A and B are shown apart, each in its own frame.
Chain A
Amino acid sequence: MLNYVIKRLFSMIPVLVGISILLFFMLRMLPGDPAQVLAGQMASPEEIETIRKQLGLDRPVYEQYLSYLGRLVRLDLGRSARTQNPVIEEIWARLPNTALLAVVAIGLACLFGIPAGVISAVRPYTWVDYAVTMGALFGISMPVFWLGLMLVVVFAVVLRWLPAGGTGSWQHVVLPSVTLASFVVAFIARMTRSTMLETLSLDYISTARSKGLKEEVVVIKHALKNALIPIVTVVGLQFGLLLGGAVLTETVFAWPGIGRLIVDSILARDYPVIQGTILIFGLLYILVNLAVDILYVVIDPRIRYE
């Protein structure tokens, strides 16, 4: 198992190198002088010159890339052009907020998505199934930021039950996490339904039923347990979707997370922060997929990694 994890960690290296190349050239694609762009509009010629030397822009491109890679390995992501704080500190300060939102949203999505998918698969082609299927399709088609705005109108403006934005209490978490979850729940319900439908048609399920087991035991203990692998995969994949959704949700609810940081940085053309946050998002996405791979072993004892 440990060997497998180490192997998987090593297999991440080419992808990480690919990401670093993308981010490196992203800055070189900018029109004009990268040093000027990084220093910001108000920078003096001396500051621009210092940044040019720091970045080694007078050296060949491969040397520039290697020194950029060296800084990345040390997690030196540079300084924000706006606040002059180290980028890693800016990200570190907001990471817990985004993580909280993501974890609550994924939890809510599983809590509603898996049972909805199971019920839909147990009663296929009935009105319950059609309701779940259509509900899931509606969820996938709904712009997450619009749903957020509508929830604010209903629960903050009309009913005055919950705050419209900000942080500080559990009430502040409700609307953003429900908004984010609504987006993912649809995918989880769809995947659970199709996997359960396939599993419920297998021979061992007929055997379990013919043994006289209760239907709940057959569905939950025999079918759902075996259908969990694709469901966990889809939950892992939806994490990327969740990060994209977090950018929009955090903007709607003025939630101080990484998603909001990236938007503010784009609007202020603060490139070190943009590069840093995108890199961290990419890393998080890869790590979650690794965690999902490892989770397979826990869920399914038939899988053994050599």
Chain B
Amino acid sequence: MSEETEPNVCRPAELPSENRWRRFWVKLRRNKAAVAGGVLLLLYVFCALLAPVLFRGDPAAPNLILALEPPSFKDPLGTDELGRSILGRVIYGARISLLIAVGVIAVGLLIGVPLGLISGFFGGKVDFLIQRATDAMLAFPGFLLALALVSVLGVGINNTVISIGISMIPLYIRLVRSCVLTVREEVYVEAARAAGTRDGMILLRHILPNVMVPITVQTSLGMGTAILFAAGLGFLGIGVQPPTPEWGAMLGSARAYLFNAPHVATFPGIAIFLAVLSFNLLGDGLRDALDPRFKI
């Protein structure tokens, strides 16, 4: 449940010109861990997008005769308690977890970024209200907030996305606000104001592009957190519901078979681990590559 890492915040003076983009790209490519993260991520997205091609058949269709078969040539990862191929369910699970992660980040970005922009740019009472609401939300650890929201909204993919997404909003508000406070004092913002540009335009054209770097890093790390949270809710039985092949829910039902078929609990966990690792490796790499203190 990673809640760490406020990315090495905004540096308006280090805006990515063409030359800087090239330098960023070189730095990122030289970071072996980030490259490994990128490769893992490509593999994960590949599985998610091409699931029906990689595994033919219905991953939710039971076949009780084959229940709890160990890994074999026919079923490389074995079968679960209902005789379903674990390989097929893990591949289709990539699709579900990616869908959830993208949805969660969309909720966090679409609500958190505008609120952070408004809070930091306008200050005053609006800022005070938004910040106190953020304080109250941050008083709960992220996973618990998602848990509380799920208890109200109910189970299922949509409610999982909404609950985890809402728990991400305060992180984006804080991050964007702290960057806006720095950027709004820059000369080019003052110049835009002096030229009579409207506030909305200044926010969209001058401030938003300059807070994109930390948002990008936070998004990469946030995707990993979203996958972990969603798997956690699924594991507890209050997230995505069976027979949908969701990795956490697969682990939840595998608990009953730990003693006679431990392979059922092994592979979905490895899938979650690798997916989250890919985002964390890439997120760390992005942060280092975008941080001017790290030299090539």
Q: Is the interface of B mostly helix, strand, loop or mixed?
A: helix
Given A18-B133, A240-B3, are A145 and B235 neighbors across the interface (CB < 8 Å)? yes
One of A22-30, A77-85, A86-94, A204-212 contacting the partner? A22-30
The answer, yes or no, to whether A248 is at the interface (CB within 8 Å) is yes
Report A-chain residues with C-beta under 8 Å of the C-beta of B143: 241, 244-245, 247
What 1/0 mask marks residues of chain A from 231 to 265 whose CB sits below 8 Å from any chain B CB? 00000010011011101100110000000001101
Given A144-B1, A149-B258, are A137 and B136 neighbors across the interface (CB < 8 Å)? no
Report B-chain residues with C-beta under 8 Å of the C-beta of A262: 147
The answer, yes or no, to whether A124 is at the interface (CB within 8 Å) is no
The answer, yes or no, to whether A100 is at the interface (CB within 8 Å) is no
The answer, yes or no, to whether A278 is at the interface (CB within 8 Å) is yes
Q: Which of B141, B142, B238, B266 contacts A267 (CB 8 A)?
A: B238
Given A143-B228, A145-B251, A146-B273, are A266 and B136 neighbors across the interface (CB < 8 Å)? no
Report A-chain residues with C-beta under 8 Å of the C-beta of B151: 265-266, 269, 271, 274
Report B-chain residues with C-beta under 8 Å of the C-beta of A164: 258
The answer, yes or no, to whether B181 is at the interface (CB within 8 Å) is no
**Shortest Cβ distance from B237 into A: residue:** A267
Which of B268, B269, B280 has the largest count of A CB atoms less than 10 A from its CB?
B269
A-B contact count (CB 8 A): 152
Identify which of residues 25-41 in chain A touch chain B, using a CB-to-CB cut-off of 8 Å.
Answer: 26-27, 29-30
Complex contact A149–B269 (CB within 8 A): yes
Q: Which of B139, B152, B277 contacts A282 (CB 8 A)?
A: B139
Which of A243, A244, A285 has the largest count of B CB atoms less than 10 A from its CB?
A244
Q: Which of A138, A248, A274 contacts B277 (CB 8 A)?
A: A138
**Shortest Cβ distance from A283 into B: residue:** B139
Complex contact B251–A140 (CB within 8 A): no
What 1/0 mask marks residues of chain B from 124 to 140 whose CB sits below 8 Å from any chain A CB? 00000000110111011
Report B-chain residues with C-beta under 8 Å of the C-beta of A248: 232, 235-236
What 1/0 mask marks residues of chain A from 18 to 60 whose CB sits below 8 Å from any chain B CB? 1101100011011000000000000000000000000000000
Q: Which of A14, A27, A143, A240 contacts B276 (CB 8 A)?
A: A143
The answer, yes or no, to whether A141 is at the interface (CB within 8 Å) is yes
Report B-chain residues with C-beta under 8 Å of the C-beta of A137: 33, 277, 280-281, 284
Identify which of residues 79-133 in chain B touch chain A, using a CB-to-CB cut-off of 8 Å.
Answer: 132-133
**Shortest Cβ distance from B279 into A: residue:** A141
Query: In the complex the two chains form, what is the Cα distance from A41 to B153 in whole Å?
Result: 17
The answer, yes or no, to whether A9 is at the interface (CB within 8 Å) is no
The answer, yes or no, to whether B144 is at the interface (CB within 8 Å) is yes
**Shortest Cβ distance from A137 into B: residue:** B280
Chain B interface residue count, CB cutoff 8 Å, equals 49
Complex contact B144–A143 (CB within 8 A): no
**Shortest Cβ distance from B2 into A: residue:** A140
Given A137-B281, A137-B284, are A143 and B231 neighbors across the interface (CB < 8 Å)? yes
Complex contact B139–A18 (CB within 8 A): yes
Report A-chain residues with C-beta under 8 Å of the C-beta of B262: 153, 157
Q: Which of B133, B144, B255 contacts A281 (CB 8 A)?
A: B144
Complex contact A145–B136 (CB within 8 A): no
Complex contact B237–A243 (CB within 8 A): no
The answer, yes or no, to whether B73 is at the interface (CB within 8 Å) is no
A-B contact pairs, 12 of them (CB 8 A): A17-B136, A26-B149, A26-B152, A29-B153, A146-B269, A150-B265, A241-B3, A244-B141, A244-B142, A244-B232, A281-B141, A282-B139
Where the two chains meet, the residues of B that have a C-beta atom closer than 8 Å to any C-beta of A are 1-4, 33, 132-133, 135-137, 139-144, 147-153, 224, 228, 231-232, 235-238, 248, 251, 254-255, 258-259, 262, 265-266, 268-269, 272-273, 276-277, 280-281, 284
Known: A18-B135, A19-B139. 14 other contacts (CB 8 A): A18-B132, A141-B280, A145-B231, A146-B272, A150-B266, A153-B262, A157-B262, A240-B140, A266-B236, A267-B237, A274-B148, A278-B148, A281-B140, A286-B139
Where the two chains meet, the residues of A that have a C-beta atom closer than 8 Å to any C-beta of B are 14-15, 17-19, 21-22, 26-27, 29-30, 134, 137-138, 140-147, 149-150, 152-153, 157, 164, 183, 187, 190, 237, 240-241, 243-245, 247-248, 251-252, 262-263, 265-267, 269, 271, 274, 278, 281-282, 285-286
